[in-house]
Structure 1
């Protein structure tokens, strides 16, 4: 090393070592308060807020925003999760600033006041990945990329949230919960946490209309119970369902499966008016795709004949978006479920995106059995 460089670096190294020693002494002394009640210095607040905004902006550069954020069904799905997973910190029109959360540092904001500050892709980044040192968790699935559809549903709701009145929020989030609680209580399902199932799936298991939620009515007890157990274990990823299913007792799983299996499916209007897609999907459902070694769907999932195994779901009447999402999850390897879920991986791996959409359009157009 040249002497001139050495003469320059020596005092720099001494200063750096001195600063490190001072930092260590400050940390050891405990004089830096970690009390949430003490607040932040103004410069600290600015620095943390600025750093967060820049980080979120950078992290969201490669995020592609879907064209469906104004879809009422997507907003409805996001609303249900918001009340379950987000309200306790971020409030709702009745309680904008929950008292316990308001004592956090930093206090979680009431979201209608701040969502306009963020682009949709930035909201997606925050909801999916959370925020360090702010108490904001990442999306609660072990496979972080597995359920981006759920994250986008929350983003869709957050964009609609500022324009909702208290009564509109209540209707969107709660639906027919009171009627549902009475029905579930009569079935011996008493715990309020468990009764919130009807907030999304409807008191009759038909999903509250709008094609926002999968239909539970008419599914077998075996399939419903196996699905809840798969959600609870994380084998079937869902940031919306996992936290709920994980809190269920074995008796509650059985009772819920019994209740929804006993409900009668009701006809719903198919959301896809594309008759050609439905016809193509019907052919796949009946005959499979022989060139790709894909078997028929009807043999396992109906309609028109008894389902081969009670742990296989009945697909007639299910929303097309839901069926496509499940096929994509199987294809990505993220979805498990019942003991025979592995049979679907080979099928989903082989179908093209267009074929997935076609067969989903067909089943969505078939009246639920």
Structure 2
């Protein structure tokens, strides 16, 4: 028995020593110009599949059939994914095709993964493959949007892909400065529209928004102070003069945003602690909830108020509600004034968030 154990120990030492010598000698090729050995390819793929399956077990994804999520994910796909993975409209970049392992063509392979597994891969990336993690790890809502779009990719016709990614973006009109035409039509316009009114009520309206707020928001995205895996890759390459020019262009477009906010709340007395749950969005927006130390929204966001605060009137309801929720979770970030939103949003309910969002969206 002891002799058998001795032989096993000697064999183990030989195997370990052989492995060390192999690694130290440098004879193992790492060149991406040649494919993996079949056994290496199988081992790496099997290990990845098992790791993703295990680590995604407890992930719960939202309703991925939501059309708004699909449109959001489509807008980013053309920015962050198509270069490596291709699309129904084009193949991947020759640079991506020279990677080892090669990035998969998602139109053909995405159906092999469960939604929770896709979520894990998109959010965390895959080491040693060139697949990055999501730039804003605290924005699960953005990751879900990409997954929702990926689910629609298999067998997607080219025309449908173009509509989802680009919408109705047309060539820039003469009103777009020549230096901004490419940015507006091929980047900003995919989501916000060349006219700045946003696509399908999914994206925020930029037309008529305050110039200083637009510029400071782009700078906050660029530095990572405002968290978004959608916007940061777009904002980082922008030069200072481009940021200022984009902000000026969109701020001067005809605005669909409302100008007036009714001055008098109706119904329940604002701030009455016995009736907080009955307050309307209008009452909260105009008078706040004093009993909970929630200030009135119009104190900063009314069109008549000067300052680097965004105009909210007429913005999409779902967008406004989402921003309030992100502030509440303290994962939104933003300009130097963003911290002012944290105490207020932490003291209102989800129902009240929706009510306030509905009020401003209708103005």
TM-score range, shorter chain: 0.7 to 0.9
Asked whether the equivalents of residues 94 and 166 of structure 1 are also in contact (C-alpha less than 8 Å), the reply is yes
Please name the residue that 1:215 is paired with: 205
The structure 2 residue matched to 1:148, chosen from 136, 140, 144, is 140
Deviations 1:163-207 (A, max 9, x none): 421111112212344423764344x42555885111111011100
CA distance, structure 1, for counterparts of residue 15 and residue 362 of structure 2: 70
CA distance, structure 2, for counterparts of residue 157 and residue 15 of structure 1: 52
- Counterparts of 1:98-247 in structure 2, within 5 Å, are 98-141=93-136, 144=137, 146-180=138-172, 183-186=175-178, 188-189=179-180, 192=183, 195-208=186-199, 210-247=200-237
Distance 1:278 1:139, change over 3 A: farther
Question: Which consecutive unaligned segments of at least 5 residues does structure 2 have?
Answer: 259-276
Q: CA deviation at 1:234?
A: 0.3
Q: CA deviation at 1:59?
A: 1.4
Q: CA deviation at 1:260?
A: 0.5
Helix, strand or coil at the partner of 1:216: coil
Asked whether the equivalents of residues 181 and 195 of structure 1 are also in contact (C-alpha less than 8 Å), the reply is no
Please name the residue that 2:327 is paired with: 330
Deviations 1:238-297 (A, max 9, x none): 0010111111000000000000001122379xxxxxxxx997222211221222110111
CA distance, structure 1, for counterparts of residue 80 and residue 62 of structure 2: 23
Asked whether the equivalents of residues 65 and 121 of structure 1 are also in contact (C-alpha less than 8 Å), the reply is yes
Asked whether the equivalents of residues 69 and 149 of structure 2 are also in contact (C-alpha less than 8 Å), the reply is yes
Asked whether the equivalents of residues 194 and 248 of structure 1 are also in contact (C-alpha less than 8 Å), the reply is no
The structure 2 residue matched to 1:319, chosen from 316, 321, 325, is 316
Helix, strand or coil at the partner of 1:37: coil
Please name the residue that 2:59 is paired with: 63
TM-score of the superposition, structure 2-length normalised? 0.88
Deviations 1:48-86 (A, max 9, x none): 11111111111111111212x222221111111000000
Please name the residue that 1:364 is paired with: 361
Q: CA deviation at 1:8?
A: 7.6
CA distance, structure 2, for counterparts of residue 83 and residue 355 of structure 1: 36
Distance 1:279 1:215, change over 3 A: farther
CA distance, structure 2, for counterparts of residue 244 and residue 230 of structure 1: 12
Please name the residue that 1:40 is paired with: 36
Please name the residue that 1:83 is paired with: 78
- Counterparts of 1:245-256 in structure 2, within 5 Å, are 245-256=235-246
CA distance, structure 2, for counterparts of residue 156 and residue 25 of structure 1: 47
Deviations 1:200-221 (A, max 9, x none): 110111002x211111111111
CA distance, structure 1, for counterparts of residue 120 and residue 72 of structure 2: 18
CA distance, structure 2, for counterparts of residue 169 and residue 231 of structure 1: 27
Deviations 1:291-318 (A, max 9, x none): 211011122112xx50242x10011122
CA distance, structure 2, for counterparts of residue 75 and residue 128 of structure 1: 17
TM-score of the superposition, structure 1-length normalised? 0.86
CA distance, structure 2, for counterparts of residue 241 and residue 96 of structure 1: 24
Distance 1:152 1:190, change over 3 A: same
Check if 1:307 corresponds to 2:299.
no
CA distance, structure 1, for counterparts of residue 224 and residue 296 of structure 2: 29
CA distance, structure 2, for counterparts of residue 193 and residue 319 of structure 1: 21
Q: CA deviation at 1:24?
A: 1.6
Distance 1:183 1:101, change over 3 A: farther
Distance 1:173 1:140, change over 3 A: same
Helix, strand or coil at the partner of 2:226: coil
Q: CA deviation at 1:44?
A: 1.8
CA distance, structure 2, for counterparts of residue 166 and residue 251 of structure 1: 36
